[in-house]
Structure formats: C-alpha cells, structure tokens
Chains A and B, each alone.
Chain A
Amino acid sequence: MRPHLMAAAAGLAICAGMAGAQSLKFPIGEGDFNWGSYDEFKSGHDLSGQTLSIFGPWRGDDQALIETVLAYFTEATGVNISYASSENYEQQIVIDTEAGSAPNIAILPQPGLIQNLVSKGFVTPLPDGTADWLRENYAAGESWVKLSTFKGPDGVDRIYAFPYKIDVKSLVWYVPENFEDAGYEVPTTMEELKALTEQIAADGETPWCIGLGSGGATGWPATDWVEDMMLRTQPPEVYDEWTTNEIPFNDPRVVEAIDEFGWFAKNDAFVAGGAGVVATTDFRDSPKGLFASPPQCYMHHQASFIPTFFPEGVQMGVDADFFYFPAYESKDLGSPVLGAGTLAFITKDSPAAQAFIEFLETPIAHEIWMAQTGFLTPFTGANADLYGDSTLKKLGKILTDATTFRFDGSDLMPAGVGAGSFWTGMVNYVGGASAEDVATQIQSSWDALK
C-alpha cells in the first residue's frame, strides 16, 4: 500500500508543481526584471525531480506572495517545492528539528530562535563566500553579516542564515488631510514631534493611538518603541551592548529609553482611550483610530506591514501616509533606522536546499516580490524601480537614507527575554510600574537564563 501511495502523492505534487509553473506572475523576459540573473541561475542548476520543503512564517496573502517567487525557482530548477507555515511556527520548528523531521529550509524572523537551533547543531552552515556576498551586495552589508553570524555548536562563529525580506519599523503613520484640517506639519526632529504631540493635546485632541495587545505576544509593539528610543538617545554601540546584555537591562541608559516611550504612552492626554487601555488594545485595531470620524488620534507608530490593518478602501499615499520617526536634533545621532526581517537557513541539507540559498542571491528572487507588495530588500543589485507602489519606494528610501540600521533588539535577545520578559515587562510598565523596576525584573529573568 505504501509505495503505491507515495507514487500517487508524487504524482499530485508534480501536478501542483506544473500548475505553479504555468502561472508565473511575470512572463519571463518581459519588463525591467533582471532576467539575465534568472537565466544564469537556470543554466547552472538542473535538479529536476528533486523536492524541497520550506517552512516559513508567511500565511494567507503573504503565502500567496512567496509562492509567486517560489514558482520561478521551480521553473528554473525543476525542483518541486512544498511550502508550509503554521500559526505557532516557533513551536513547530522546535518540535520538528528535535524529532528529526525538519524541513530542508526554514525561514524565521527571530535570530534568537535561530541561535538556539544553531547551537543544538540543527542548522547547516552556509557556504564560505556568503559573508563576502552580503558585504558587497547588501546596503550596510556589514550589519547584515553580523546578523547572519551565529555561534555554532563548536563555539565557532559562522554564517548560518541568509536575510531575505525586511520590514522598516521606524515609521509614524498619519492621515495627511487630518493634519491639513488641523494645520499640523509633519515633524522632522524628535523635538518637533514632541512639540506636536503637546500641541495636539492642547487643542483638545488625542495625538497617539497605541495598542500593545497581540494575544500571546501582547507587549511586543512597546519593544519597538523602546528600541527606536534607544537608537535615538544612545549611539548604536550602546544598542548592541544592550541586545547582547553586555550592559545590564537596568542600565540607566536603557531605563531612560523606556521612560522616553513612557512620555508618549503613559500620559492619558496623549493616548486614545487613556494610558489604561494601551496594554489591552489590539495592535491590529489600534491604527483604525486614525480613520475614525472624528479622528480618535493623529499618529500611530508601527512597522511597514501595518497598512494591512487599515480599514477597507484606505488608499496609501492619499488617505494615509507615513513619516520617518525622527531623531533628536540635539543628540546628533544621525538618522537611525530600526528594522526586522526574515532569515532563511538550512535545517536539512540537500542540493536543492543549497540551490535555494543561491537563488536568494539572484536579483530576480527579490524583484518578483518587490514588484508586488509588502517587500523591501537591502539588495543593491535589485532594480529599485520595480517596487510595486510609491509607498514601497518611499520606504526603500528611508532604508537607504539611514545612517544606522539596527535589527529589532527583542528578536536578538534570547527568546525567554525578547519574546518573554521584555514583552510582559512593557505591559507592566504601561500598567503603572516604574521603568527601573521593570528593567530590573527583565534583567533578573535574563540572569536566570544563563
């Protein structure tokens, strides 16, 4: 019964693969895509009949998008891809790797989790040239190399993961016409942003919508705030020391950054609904206040994915827009940008898995998704003109204008802190606890992990 079944399953998979191949999103050879890179990749890789399993964080519409990219890999190499995701992908990947049924490729947004898997020996190092490739081809290459480097089970640092698709976090979303109606200007420095916040409050309106609710992950939006504030009050080196715990979490500089966030979030006059509802308001519902009539708030700090949760019919660039979350003019720290992203790594080595990592080094793997929606890349070899809309272009510009780029700190910390006590600590903080107490608690949870 079993071989028979396998054959049937393979047959089905081939059919699915062919269906994918027929529906390539952009016909090969047309448009401004770098088809040369595609052809070159194709000529070097004939892996027909092989299969590749990929486990990623993208579901729903995002899954449809990644599958358009994967279709080109299948077309070029003949490899059948089965892409899968799951709601609790962190748990799933841990169970699968521990039990020995790992996918070929895993793509995850948490470097902390990847470090965990790497140190248990579940991840295959990437080829030697990868570091050089990132340095040369990614904007601010060195910071990407650093992000992709993990300490192996033998204690040696190697490149284990390949960054692909990033999000910019240092953004403030607003409704341009509401600003016009009230006569507000887009602030370009943190001093102006704070003055604007006070002015809106003085006008009897509410400046900010802040929501930390996210089910089991409640609290994470606040970590983005604190990280952004960290980059705006301290040099990036201090940020790095903070995320690696070389300076303790309750260092006065960190406490100061937390209180900078508190200046916005813990003031009843500054937040829609008052500080009390910040922790329970769902982060997905929170931006809807911008579009209410009359507006419940004027500004919302969130990463580049948030337009997904804007009300239906909101047109980006017309009904809603964003500006860069500005830096202090007085501190002279340039324009730091906070971001996040996903990293691809090999959990079960095979020629197809190696080929997939090489595929991610071709411009075409980036351009296909760029030309659609919700994708940013630091890959300088990809044609920036292909960005699907003006919003993405503008986001891309923030990324290239950045003098400092830093990865989401909570994702760099061990999961017990970055996806645990940091989240809960921020909830306690907006609930009334002092920044010192919260920071000390987080530090003690970090100590417990050592």
Chain B
Amino acid sequence: MDNIAGTKSSLTWAVHISVVLLVALWLFPTVGLLVSSFRTADQIATSGWWSALGTQKRQEPAIRVEGDQVQEGDVYVIHGELFPVADAKVSAWGTSSREPEAYEPGQTVDIGDGDTLTVSESGAYTLTSPESLEGKRLPRIFSTAATPPEFTFANYRNVLFSSTAAAGVGQSFVNTLTVAIPATIIPILVAAFAAYALAWMEFPGRSLLVAAVVALLVVPLQLALIPLLQFHNAIGIGKSYLGVWMAHTGFGLPLAIYLLRNYMVGLPRDIIECAKVDGASDFQIFTKIVLPLSFPALASFAIFQFLWTWNDLLVALVFLGTDDQRLVLTARLVNLLGSRGGQWEILASSAFVSIAVPLIVFFTMQRYLVRGLLAGSVK
C-alpha cells in the first residue's frame, strides 16, 4: 500500500487491489469445489480442476471397442466412436497398455487373427474381422487425445433426483428449515433479555454470571449428548423436534449472550439513563430502546446461529434421530455418499446444494445489517 498520505487515488487503487487479492484468496478453494462439482468422479481423480477449464491433452483410460457388428462383403465390421460426446482430437493410439502411443491416427493396424483396427483423428474407429466377432472379447483402445472442457450436471442430478434421494431431499429440506428457524429465533430472544440484564442491570453476582457464560462457551458438545438425551427420554420428549430445538437453544445461548451483552454494553449510557430518569421501566427501556438499537448485533448473531443449525449434523442426529421422515438435509446428503464414503463429486455437489439457503439468507440479511448499522450510528 502507498505510504504517502494525501495521494488519494493511488491509495484507493491499493485498497481495490488488496481487496481483490483477499477475495481471490478466500474464494479460490470454493471455486475449486464448484468446478469439481461439475466433473465426473474419474475426472476429479485424474486431473486438477483448473485443467478442466481449458483444452486438455492427455492419455485417456482404455476404451473397449463395442457395438453391433455388420457384415460388409466377406468381413465383419464394427464402427464406433471413442468420444461420442466430446469434440476430441486423437494424436496417437495403441492397443496395448505397454505401448499406448504406438500408432498414428488414420493408420490401419493388424491386431492378430487377421483382425484390423483403425482410429481416425476424430476418434472414430473401425474394427474389421474375417470371422464373426460374436462372443469374442473385443480389443481395448488406448488413446492420447486433446479434449475440450467437459462438464456434467450428473452429480447434481444424483444428489437431487436419484432414486435413493428423490423422495427425501425435498422432505429433508423442509425438516432442516423446521429445525433451524425456531432454533435460531428462540435462543436470540432468551439471550437478548439475559444480555440486557447482564449489561445494564445492577445486581450482585453479575460478573460471576458473565464468567459462567464464558466458561460454558467452551463446553464440548460431545459431553452433553448422552446426559441430555437421557433427560429428554426421561421427561418424555424423546427424539423430536421439540428436543432438537431445546438442544440448539441450550448450545447456542452462551455465545448469543456473550456477543449481545458486549454489544449492549457499548450502547450510549446517556440514552438509557435519560430514559430511567423519565421513569421508564427496565422492560420498556429494553423493548423500546435497547432492542431496536441492538438490531445489527441481533441480525449478525441470527446469521451465525442459522448457519450452525443449518450445517449441524451431530445435534440433529442425536436429538431428532435418524428416522427417514425426519432426516435433516446434512444427514441425508452424508447418507448419499454410500457406506464407504469418499465420493468427492457427490460431496462437492451436495456442499453447494446445502450452502444455497445459508447464502440466500446471508445476502438478504446483509441489507438489514447495513440498514440497522446506519440507524445505530445516527445516535
């Protein structure tokens, strides 16, 4: 950045460039995932996602000759295409894994038993044989070809419409919303009152309570799962939406209280004291003054809490259960991966399916965030 104060335009440029760099750096990993989500599993496993953007010259995996034979004169012939979809350009080919680049395109080669094979530059091949090819194992063709970028929607189709998913994804979407919305609103409401009390009301033990809230922030979730599920079973809630809402409320509260209290403490003291002098009760001060002024903080915490409940897998599985009717989106998508997991193409596309709603929420809420902030600064 430019160090000379006053050279305003160069400084502005430096800011723009720095932000572009920062955004690029932060976006880069996600872009990789996005591009990967439009590639097949084999493509992801064999070449970098950035190479998918341009024409690629590489050795293709072996492709076996297939198709129906036709009799042409006294020979049997099979015609086919190596790359029926892509617009590829073959530069060399072969029939043995040891010599995958033995022949030029257009060359006609004797592959034994009197059979001949030729592969053209466009990837069209012709296999001829003096005898019927019925029931015979057909040769493999190894090729080195330049292929243009190739993208597929198959992963998204798999995630959204495959037979194992189709019935469930929509339902799970609704389930997740059902979990996330109450689990976002209720803790905020409860926390707002508590935060006000901890910020603006005088009572013994206040600092101790704040300390307790901070201490509880660090409680690892895993510890709480078994005792709380036991508790839910004991009071008859069992595994239900009510249980998962309560759990999210409990787990989200410490951070909500902590963030909101710190925001409320920063509100101008004179406004609140004026109101007190005017005879307003704490309840009135809270609802009429503090709450509207805290809107930005409430909105930003709402975003965080919504993101956490939306992305949560553990709490939902434990407190809502794995029942098919109530499965949340994250759990559904994880199950799509199959018993042994690890399918990056599904992971990539499902990550973008599940990220869609949080992003929409963020973009819409952001406008309110800005508005709330402006209102707050005119104090």
Contacts and interface: CB of A to CB of B under 8 A. Distances in A.
Contacts of B229: 95-96, 98-101
Given A99-B226, A182-B98, A59 B339 contact: yes
Contacts of B41: 311-312
Nearest to B346: A60
Contact of B337 (A59, A99, A294, A305): A59
B30 interface: no
A64 interface: yes
Nearest to B335: A59
A84 B98 CA distance: 48
Interface in B304-358: 313, 317-318, 321-325, 327, 331, 334-343
Contacts of A60: 164, 335-339
Interface in B201-225: 225
A25 to B, nearest CB: 13
Contact of B331 (A86, A308, A318): A86
A349 interface: no
Interface string A182-223: 100000000000000000000000000000001100000000
Nearest to A13: B325
Contact of B341 (A87, A98, A291, A292): A87
A64 B164 CA distance: 7
A87 B342 CA distance: 11
B148 to A, nearest CB: 19
Nearest to A87: B334
Given A59-B335, A100-B230, A291 B62 contact: yes
A272 B67 CA distance: 34
B338 A98 contact: no
B324 A84 contact: yes
A177 B142 CA distance: 12
Contacts of B338: 59-62, 308
B323 A288 contact: no
Interface residues of B, number: 47
B60 interface: yes
**A interface, size bucket:** 35 or more
Interface in B116-144: 137, 140, 142
B46 interface: yes
B288 interface: no
Interface in A259-302: 282, 284-285, 288, 291-295
Nearest to B231: A99
B18 interface: no
Given A86-B322, A181-B97, A57 B339 contact: yes
A95 B61 contact: no
A411 to B, nearest CB: 15
Nearest to B225: A95
26 contacts: A9-B325, A12-B325, A59-B336, A60-B164, A60-B339, A62-B338, A64-B163, A84-B321, A84-B324, A87-B334, A96-B229, A98-B226, A99-B230, A101-B238, A101-B321, A178-B97, A181-B97, A282-B342, A284-B340, A284-B343, A293-B100, A294-B59, A305-B340, A311-B42, A315-B64, A319-B140
Given A59-B334, A101-B233, 11 more contacts: A60-B164, A60-B337, A61-B338, A92-B322, A96-B229, A100-B230, A101-B238, A175-B97, A284-B340, A284-B342, A293-B60
Interface of A: 9, 12-13, 16, 53, 55, 57-64, 82-88, 92, 95-96, 98-101, 175, 177-178, 181-182, 214-215, 282, 284-285, 288, 291-295, 305, 308-309, 311-312, 315, 318-319
**Closest 3 A/B residue pairs (Cβ):** A60-B338, A84-B322, A99-B229
